[in-house]
């Protein structure tokens, strides 16, 4: 099956080829026909499997560049994810030659500047639900021609305060509207909320709730007080090309970054207390190779797309298998091998059985001695 057979127009197929994309991923094969047909859908597939293109291609296929109005809105939970989607839309427009304009609308940026950019009449708007709703309420973002709304990271967006904002955005759009919800996993709560927003919803999935088979899972057992030193020794031993270290709390991200830098390891960090410019600097540093290690909290890293991640370190292990899946899904992409390394206290080793049974993986216990890693049974 190729993109043309799935109903993608030639200009877009050529745009994909310019980026080295010649064959659809499983979720694209599954989702494209339904989304092109205009069906409401909940699309779930593991991180890094092409979900963004699965909804961007149908949007580009049905958007009329001759109409100077917003025709599609994409909502994302973080500035970074919104920016990534926007950048992919810009590349798709440039490489296809289709004069479709995309505009990024996120909180923390100048509203005045965004209002100026709206005068350029974009056909696609990507951003945070809060800022988009604010501009709709101000009657500055005209939505009469919107035919598609996408809620990315739906398992996070359809929860708490953001759920009310998403509802209000959708309620402000024309009734003849395609609603698309996207997530790495389909949780019962978010699925129920999506169903309430769209009774005609179809559920499309490929590999959701499954961990990529190309990832090797290893865990090390030690006391909490020695974790920072263990992490340092592991990084020295495995020499990751690019890695993400996950922590639970903002202050831990700063602490781990500080300790690693003390030993001459190039590190960037991203967490909840960072402003927009600090987050952008951290992402630029990791993508450019100025930093090899990104220390991140779960919330700040949600939806981040960083290419070439060879190792994931769970400095703090997640209590749920879903969060483990979200984290480790950032390595082992596109047929490359990946490594997920978890640092556990003796009390946390019970989580190994949970991950193994719920995710269908095998975790190997290991230890490090004199800079070398050994399997625990050796």
Q: What does the pLDDT read at residue 303?
A: 59
User: Is pLDDT of 276 > 80?
Assistant: no
Quick: pLDDT tens for 98-125.
999 999 999 988 999 999 999 999 999 9
Distances (CA, A) of 345 to 224, 325, 350: 6, 20, 10
pLDDT at residue 210, as a whole number:
66
Q: Would the pLDDT of 377 be above 90?
A: no
Is the pLDDT score of 67 beyond 80?
yes
Compute the average pLDDT of residues 204-213: 71
Residue 163: predicted pLDDT: 95
Q: Are 321 and 287 in contact (CB under 8 A)?
A: no
Residue 64 has pLDDT above 90, yes or no: yes
Q: Are 67 and 231 in contact (CB under 8 A)?
A: no
Position 334 scores a pLDDT of 64
Q: What angle do CA 99, 137, 277 make, to 5 degrees?
A: 65
Instruction: Give yes or no for residue 304 having a pLDDT over 90.
Output: no
- SS3 (DSSP) at 293: strand
Confidence of residue 270 (pLDDT cuts 50, 70, 90): confident
Q: What mean pLDDT comes out for the span 148-162?
A: 93
What is the rounded distance in angstroms from the CA atom of residue 238 to the CA atom of residue 220? 14
Q: What is the pLDDT at residue 203?
A: 86
Strand order across the 148-151 sheet? 102-105, 124-127, 72-75, 148-151, 178-183, 41-45, 202-206
Digit-coded pLDDT (tens) for 2-21: 899 999 999 999 999 999 99
Q: What is the C-alpha separation between 59 and 64, in angstroms, rounded?
A: 10
Q: What is the DSSP string of 73-128?
A: EEE-SSHHHHHHHHHHHHHHHHHHT----EEEE-TTS-HHHHHHHHTT--SEEEE-
> For residue 89, what are its two tokens?
């839309």
Q: What are the residues whose beta carbons fall under 8 Å from the beta carbon of 280, sequence distance 6 or more? A: none
CA distances (Å), 47 to each of 41, 92, 330, 334, 366, in order?
18, 20, 7, 11, 27
In this structure, what are the phi and psi dihedrals at residue 249, rounded to the nearest 5 degrees?
-115, 155
Closest CA to 332 of 242, 260, 246: 242
Average pLDDT value for residue range 130-140: 96
Res. 162: pLDDT tops 60: yes
Residues 257-267: pLDDT tens digits?
Answer: 999 999 999 99
Number of Cβ within 10 Å of residue 56's Cβ equals 24
Radius of gyration of the chain, Cα coordinates, nearest whole angstrom: 21
Tokens matching residue 251: 């202050």
Distance of alpha carbon 249 from alpha carbon 316, whole angstroms:
9
How does pLDDT run across 332-350, given as a tens digit for each residue? Answer: 876 788 999 999 999 999 9
pLDDT at 272 over 90: no
Handedness of CA 123, 126, 129, 131 (dihedral sign): negative
pLDDT exceeds 70 at position 209: no
Report the pLDDT averaged over residues 34-39: 92
Tokens of 6: 């799935």
What is residue 207's predicted lDDT score, i.e. its pLDDT? Answer: 61
How many C-beta atoms lie closer than 10 Å to residue 117's C-beta?
14
CA angle 171, 175, 179 (to 5 degrees): 75
For residue range 241-251, list pLDDT tens digits in order: 999 999 988 88
Higher-pLDDT residue of 281 and 169 is: 169
| Domains within the chain, CATH numbers bracketed | 10-206 (3.40.50.300), 215-375 (3.40.50.300)
Q: Which residue has the higher pLDDT, 253 or 343?
A: 343
The predicted-structure confidence for 323-332, as pLDDT tens digits, reads as follows 898 889 888 8
């Amino acid at each position: 099956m190729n993109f043309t057979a799935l109903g993608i127009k030639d200009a877009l197929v050529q745009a994909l080829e310019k980026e080295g994309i010649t064959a659809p991923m499983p979720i694209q094969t599954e989702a494209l026909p339904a989304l092109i047909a205009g069906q409401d859908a909940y699309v779930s597939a593991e991180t890094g499997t092409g979900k963004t293109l699965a909804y961007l291609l149908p949007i580009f296929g049905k958007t009329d560049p001759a109409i100077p109005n917003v025709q599609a809105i994409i909502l994302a939970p973080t500035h970074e994810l919104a920016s990534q989607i926007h950048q992919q839309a810009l590349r798709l427009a440039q490489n296809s030659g289709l004069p479709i304009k995309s505009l990024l609308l996120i909180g923390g940026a100048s509203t005045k500047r965004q209002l100026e950019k709206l005068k350029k009449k974009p056909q696609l708007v990507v951003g945070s639900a809060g800022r988009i709703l604010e501009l709709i309420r101000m009657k500055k973002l005209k939505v009469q021609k919107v035919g598609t709304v996408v809620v990315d990271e739906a398992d996070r967006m359809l929860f708490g305060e953001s759920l009310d904002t998403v509802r209000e955005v959708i309620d402000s759009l024309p009734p003849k509207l395609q609603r698309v919800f996207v997530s790495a996993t389909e949780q019962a709560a978010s699925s129920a909320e999506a169903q309430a927003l769209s009774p005609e919803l179809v559920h499309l999935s490929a590999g959701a709730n499954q961990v990529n088979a190309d990832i090797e899972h290893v865990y090390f057992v030690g006391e909490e007080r020695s974790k920072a030193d263990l992490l340092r020794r592991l990084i020295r031993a495995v020499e990751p090309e690019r890695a993400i270290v996950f922590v639970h709390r903002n202050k831990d991200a700063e602490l781990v970054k500080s300790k690693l830098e003390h030993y001459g390891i190039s590190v960037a960090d991203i967490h909840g207390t960072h402003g927009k410019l600090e987050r952008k600097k951290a992402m630029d540093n990791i993508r450019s190779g100025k930093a090899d290690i990104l220390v991140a909290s779960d919330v700040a890293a949600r939806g981040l797309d960083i290419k070439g991640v060879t190792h994931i370190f769970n400095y703090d292990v997640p209590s749920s298998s879903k969060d483990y899946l979200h984290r480790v899904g950032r390595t082992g992409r596109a047929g490359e091998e990946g490594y997920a390394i978890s640092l556990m206290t003796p009390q946390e080793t019970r989580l190994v059985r949970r991950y193994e049974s719920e995710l269908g993986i095998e975790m190997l216990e290991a230890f490090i001695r004199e800079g070398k890693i050994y399997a625990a049974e050796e």
